[in-house]
């Protein structure tokens, strides 16, 4: 299975509370609609000195399924919503290697 990890930094002027609300209340329902999405986890960073405010984890059957999902209208809406609410977004495509659980 293909996994994307996205590191997010909230936009200037957005409080940590506002970012949390955006990510979990406003953005989450959009992201859950991505076609082919197998699993979605949002992690809100608690330590204030961290370089990122949130970490998204998205699982798809393949990189092609990921790309196809973001090429759809809902995928474009998800990306646009992210870019409107973050200062920086770094995508990491990883080969997950579970060790426990």
Report pLDDT digits (tens) over 61-86: 999 999 999 999 999 999 999 999 99
Locate the domains of the chain by residue range.
2-94
Give the Cα separation of 97 and 53 in Å (integer). Answer: 24
Residues 52-60 have a mean pLDDT of: 98
pLDDT at 101 over 90: no
Q: Which CATH architecture describes the domain 2-94?
A: 2-Layer Sandwich (3.30)
| Per-chain mean pLDDT for the chain | 97
pTM: 0.92
């Amino acid at each position: 299975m293909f996994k994307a990890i996205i590191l997010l930094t909230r936009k200037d002027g957005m409080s940590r509370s506002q970012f949390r609300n955006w990510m979990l209340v406003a953005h989450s329902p959009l992201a859950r609609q991505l076609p082919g999405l197998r699993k979605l986890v949002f992690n809100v960073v608690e330590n204030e000195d961290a370089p990122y405010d949130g970490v998204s984890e998205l699982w798809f059957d393949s990189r092609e399924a990921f790309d196809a999902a973001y090429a759809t209208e809902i995928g474009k809406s998800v990306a646009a919503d992210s870019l409107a609410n973050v200062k920086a977004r770094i995508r990491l495509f990883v080969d997950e290697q579970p060790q426990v659980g």
